[in-house]
Amino acid sequence: MRFEPETYEELVRMKRCVELTKYYELSEEELDRIYLFLEQNKDAYVKCGKQNIALIRGADTYNSEVIMTRCLSSGIDGILITQSEFSVIPHYTPSSGSGHSGGSSSNNNNNNNNNNNNNR
């Protein structure tokens, strides 16, 4: 990045932008663009997905700027950056469900059968 932070707020903003490079392919110009966007728009946030990064001003999601990029990590679904946070959204893989719901019912039946056999 081409900026020298002069305040703590600028240093934190820069750290968050640089942290993005762990997860996304970004050029120096794109990092500068994200940094300046957050600096100039206090109610703005950056929402990163698998294939793009949206620069959003407040609730106005229709006029957001988009940077096309590629997520380098299959372990995340995205990142959210605001003036006060940097949140990594982990990748969620739903379980098949065959072992959970059916298993407890089957276990209950086995326990009941065992209890009945022991009471004879």
Q: Considering only residues 20 and 92, tell me which one the structure prediction assigns the higher pLDDT.
A: 20
Give DSSP secondary structure letters for the chain: ------SHHHHHHHHHHHHHTTTB---HHHHHHHHHHHHH-TTEEEEE-SSEEEEEETTEEEEEEEEE--B--TTEEEEEE-SS-EEEEE------STTTHHHHHHHHHHHHHHHHHHT-
Model pLDDT for residues 39-48, shown as the tens digit of each residue:
998 889 999 9
Model pLDDT for residues 86-117, shown as the tens digit of each residue:
999 998 888 765 555 444 444 555 555 555 55
Q: What six digits make up the tokens of 47? A: 């929402």
pTM reported for the whole predicted model:
0.72
